[in-house]
Amino acid sequence: AQTVTQSQPEMSVQEAETVTLSCTYDTSESNYYLFWYKQPPSRQMILVIRQEAYKQQNATENRFSVNFQKAAKSFSLKISDSQLGDTAMYFCAFVGRQGAQKLVFGQGTRLTINP
Amino acid sequence: DAGITQSPRHKVTETGTPVTLRCHQTENHRYMYWYRQDPGHGLRLIHYSYGVKDTDKGEVSDGYSVSRSKTEDFLLTLESATSSQTSVYFCAISESTATNEKLFFGSGTQLSVL
């Protein structure tokens, strides 16, 4: 079974700083998707970025980028020029491309951006 | 945003009573999911559906049942609610079974079992 681990329960940085959230996963599959979701206090789940395992190039979305290390099974999220609106819970997630498409989540990292 | 609605948004009930949560979509997506969110556990899959009347269990399915009689509706039932089922419940829909590139989430239901 696939597992996703986020080892940082909480993080806090100053506005405009860069912050990196860690995520590791375990799977025997060779092709899969990885995601970062953001959950602000409103409870809404918002897709931040996704990475396809067969693509070697790291995904980027504006201030958000990932460092995907397939061999190490690591998928970290970097937020550049952090903003107050980035304050939220962040979840790393995995889904394989074979069989039942069960999305597996990590435990989450609570990120606080301080003014 | 995807058309996905969960009801109710909040519910308080007593131990031993049955509870049904509803997820309604207007996107005609094939896959629908129920997750529960608890502190320290992220989101855990309860049940999912890959078509009308086609459902399967997730990792925390004990104490829950589901039904999908129409494409647009996916119901989650707690036959006899327990305090351990106090949680936030999310419904999600998938736009593609081939790639599952994205999931769209509902706004969640806060369920308190007293």
CB < 8 Å to A31, chain B: none
Query: Is the pLDDT reported for residue B100 higher than 70?
Result: no
pLDDT in tens, A53-77: 888 899 999 999 999 999 999 999 9
Name the minimum distance, in Å, from the CA of B15 to any CA of chain A: 25
Q: Return the beta strands (E) in chain A as ranges.
A: 3-5, 10-14, 19-21, 24-26, 32-39, 46-52, 60-61, 64-69, 74-79, 88-96, 104-105, 109-114
Q: pLDDT band at residue B41, thresholds of 50, 70 and 90?
A: confident
Query: What is the torsional sign of CA B79, B84, B90, B94?
Result: negative
Q: pLDDT band at residue B98, thresholds of 50, 70 and 90?
A: low
Give pLDDT, residue B16. 97
Report residue B20 CA to chain centroid gap: 10
- How much is the average pLDDT of B17-40? 93
> Tokens 């829950």 label which residue?
B64
CB < 8 Å to B101, chain A: 33, 50
- Answer whether B42 sits within 8 Å of A47, measured CB to CB: no
Query: Is the pLDDT reported for residue B87 higher than 80?
Result: yes
Q: pLDDT band at residue B35, thresholds of 50, 70 and 90?
A: very high
Residues in chain A: 115
Q: pLDDT band at residue B31, thresholds of 50, 70 and 90?
A: confident
Give pLDDT, residue B68. 97
Query: Is the pLDDT reported for residue B30 higher than 70?
Result: yes
Residues of chain A with pLDDT under 70: 98-101
Identity at A35, one-letter amino acid code: F
CA distance B39 to B88: 10
CB < 8 Å to A97, chain B: 99-100
